[in-house]
């Protein structure tokens, strides 16, 4: 009788104590993590990213000799463009298959029939996917760092560690966008298509659109910087460059404006932009998923 009474409460909302809610989220996260690392996509993404990262490391070491800082510094700079292409694609497609995949397979109804809330399911799946994605990135970065330490020593490893941290934050941001796409999509193919469109828009269209807008509308440098800062990929690139103690003047007038006007507050602004991309889409996804009347 007690089990019947528990299951009669709609998804266990309102009567489940906080520790139970946390444990339910953790269980879903563990399940999602196990499923993710056992999937062929995790293996494919990990191998692809590792091979590319090691390839960039070897290229950066060519002609460096024993100068460790040059090895790590050049690798960090060389990995920027690779990360901006590969990591958003990994995270967006991984997130797009979360809820939409469960819905299409018919397993979402079973998950929601458990004495858990919709937000527990969503956050649990997000945390599990985030953990698996960060593990995949750490494997690639770890092998690359091992190659660099072996060939060029460990000087300058701090800049490389900073790159790993910002890459993980970028992955979490793109995963949040992917989860939001998955919540509003009925089928996996639709969610994947929208994720690919979002990737193309962020990686290619945004840069071209910003350049075109600055010419057509004669935008001031402050407005161009604001538009660039709200783009997660541009925020990531500028944050890495700034934290490498390099000058943003290499990015032209916009970079020079950001460096000279914002000064020490610039890294915090860029990090806040990335963090907002990790938090806001996930919060909106949780709100929409919790209010959704049907599966």
Measured CA to CA, the distance from residue 288 to residue 295 in angstroms comes to: 12
pLDDT at residue 79, as a whole number: 85
Measured CA to CA, the distance from residue 266 to residue 201 in angstroms comes to: 25
CA distances from 95 to 7, 32, 127, 209 (A): 29, 12, 11, 26
What DSSP character marks residue 265?
G
Query: What is the extent of the structural domain holding 119?
Result: 2-291
pLDDT at residue 252, as a whole number: 62
Helices 157-184 and 232-243 pack at an angle, to 10 degrees, of 170
CB atoms within 10 A of CB 292: 12
Residues 6+ apart with CB under 8 A from 15: 9
pLDDT at residue 261, as a whole number: 72
Kindly state the tokens that stand for 197.
């469109």
Kindly state the tokens that stand for 293.
């009347």
Kindly state the tokens that stand for 73.
């510094």
Q: pLDDT in tens for each of the 295 residues of the chain?
A: 434 333 433 444 444 455 566 887 888 899 899 988 888 888 898 999 999 888 887 777 665 444 444 556 677 777 888 899 999 999 999 999 999 988 888 888 888 888 888 999 999 999 999 999 999 999 999 998 888 777 766 656 777 888 999 999 999 999 999 999 999 998 999 999 999 999 999 888 777 777 777 777 777 777 777 888 888 998 898 888 887 766 665 566 666 667 777 777 888 888 999 999 999 999 999 999 988 655 5
Q: How many structural domains does the chain have?
A: 1
Measured CA to CA, the distance from residue 288 to residue 184 in angstroms comes to: 8
Measured CA to CA, the distance from residue 253 to residue 110 in angstroms comes to: 55
pLDDT at residue 8, as a whole number: 37
pLDDT at residue 15, as a whole number: 47
pLDDT at residue 4, as a whole number: 37
Residues 6+ apart with CB under 8 A from 176: 95, 126, 277, 278, 279, 280, 281, 282, 285
Measured CA to CA, the distance from residue 55 to residue 49 in angstroms comes to: 10
Measured CA to CA, the distance from residue 242 to residue 258 in angstroms comes to: 10
pLDDT at residue 226, as a whole number: 81
């Amino acid at each position: 009788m007690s089990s019947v009474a528990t299951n009669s409460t709609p998804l266990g909302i309102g009567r489940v104590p906080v520790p139970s809610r946390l444990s339910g989220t953790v269980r879903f996260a563990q399940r999602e993590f196990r499923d993710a690392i056992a999937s062929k996509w995790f293996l494919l993404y990990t191998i692809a990213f590792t091979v590319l990262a090691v390839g960039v490391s070897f290229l950066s070491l060519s002609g460096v000799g024993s100068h460790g800082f040059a090895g790590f510094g050049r690798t960090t700079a060389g990995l920027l463009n690779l990360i901006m292409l590969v990591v958003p694609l990994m995270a967006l497609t991984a997130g797009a298959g979360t809820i939409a995949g469960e819905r299409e397979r018919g397993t979402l109804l079973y998950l929601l029939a458990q004495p858990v809330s919709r937000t527990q399911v969503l956050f649990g799946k997000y945390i599990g996917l985030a953990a698996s994605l960060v593990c995949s990135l750490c494997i690639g970065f770890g092998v690359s760092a091992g190659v660099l330490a072996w060939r060029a020593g460990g000087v300058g490893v701090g800049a490389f560690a900073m790159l790993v941290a910002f890459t993980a934050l970028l992955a979490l941001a793109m995963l949040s966008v992917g989860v939001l796409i998955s919540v509003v999509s009925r089928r996996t193919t639709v969610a994947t298509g929208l994720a690919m469109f979002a990737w193309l828009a962020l990686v290619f269209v945004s840069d071209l659109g910003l350049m075109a807008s600055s010419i057509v509308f004669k935008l001031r440098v402050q407005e161009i910087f604001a538009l660039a800062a709200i783009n997660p990929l541009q925020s990531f690139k500028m944050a890495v460059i700034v934290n490498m103690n390099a000058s943003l003047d290499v990015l032209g007038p916009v970079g020079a404006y950001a460096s000279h006007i914002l000064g020490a507050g610039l890294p915090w602004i860029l990090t806040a932009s990335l963090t907002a991309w990790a938090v806001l889409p996930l919060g909106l996804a949780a709100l929409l998923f919790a209010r959704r009347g049907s599966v």
